[in-house]
Amino acid sequence: MKKVILVVVLSFLYTITNAQTAEELKAEQAPKNAEIAKLKGEVAALQAKIDALPGWRKGAFGTVGASLSGFNNWYARNAPTAEAGNIGVTVNGFANLIQEDFFWRNSAAINLGWVKLDESGVSGDEGFDTATDVFTISSLYGKRLNKKWALSALGEYRTTIIDNFNNPGYLDLGAGVTWTPTNNLVVVMHPGNYNFVFSDGDTVFESSLGAKIVADYTNKYGGLSVKSNLSMFQSYNSSDLSNWTWTNSFGYTIWKGIGVGLEVGLRNNKQEALNNALINDANATFSTLDNKLQSYYLLGLSYAF
């Protein structure tokens, strides 16, 4: 009985000692956490000063998504033997020259995707088909009026690469003003802009004069890279010739530049919708057109350069 009581007492004393030790360790940990938070704040402030210095800023991050699957004599399927694949690649890059009296901002974005479903006994589906095909490159020059406003000129080109290169292709050339409230946000407002539309043969595509608005946000929050770009053209001739594209890219780094990435794109373009509708309906017009919102997305592994 005495041994049992002794064991209980020792266990109680051991528990109390450990509890006190944990409390002491937490007490020592608190000021160190506060010191780490202070150092992080100082590092962020220094980085902000570095970002404000004149010179080049360059960067890029991308996402790769892929899945492959195969069935062999899987009788639960209508086609027991089949192979399927989905591959997507997206890259966003920029090279910006920032000076006290001017800036020159350059960016490029590409998103390519392929999909395949090869079923045994079905001919013509053996290869990969294009799923997404987006390419955009832009160059913006600005002569500063002050720290936030500048007179500017923009050139922006958009097309596809795999299918129908430059058919259509869009080239915007214009001038106006640019607002840069922070180092990460650029808003372009160009009331004088010509939207050149390139296409092969006799098509519905038409170039026109209009206004161009671009809003571009690029930033990094710890391991998270963010880029959002909205490009709008409002035609002075007709709203049927107007268009806009909004892309959002996210990349979260987990280990040595490798992480998870997501890109989502939205577009509204009545000329593209009508051109597609005419394939099945020769009598389609802008007034009868069901102009649905265009979209794409890619989720997969990402790599930050």
pLDDT digits (tens, 9 = 90+) for 57-79: 888 878 888 877 888 877 776 77
Residue 35 confidence (pLDDT): 84
Measure CA 102 to chain center.
Answer: 26
Nearest in space to 138 (alpha carbons), one of 180, 99, 92: 92
pLDDT in tens, 80-118: 788 888 888 888 889 999 999 999 999 999 989 888 877
- The token pair at 57 is 């800023």
Residues 6+ apart with CB under 8 A from 299: 63, 65, 260, 261, 262
**Considering the chain, what is the average pLDDT of its residues?**
86
Residues 6+ apart with CB under 8 A from 241: 195, 206, 208, 210, 235, 270, 271
pTM greater than 0.85: no
d(CA 296, CA 281): 25
Residue 65 confidence (pLDDT): 80
Which residues in the chain land under pLDDT 50?
none
Determine the 3-state secondary structure of 200 from DSSP.
coil
Residue 241 confidence (pLDDT): 96
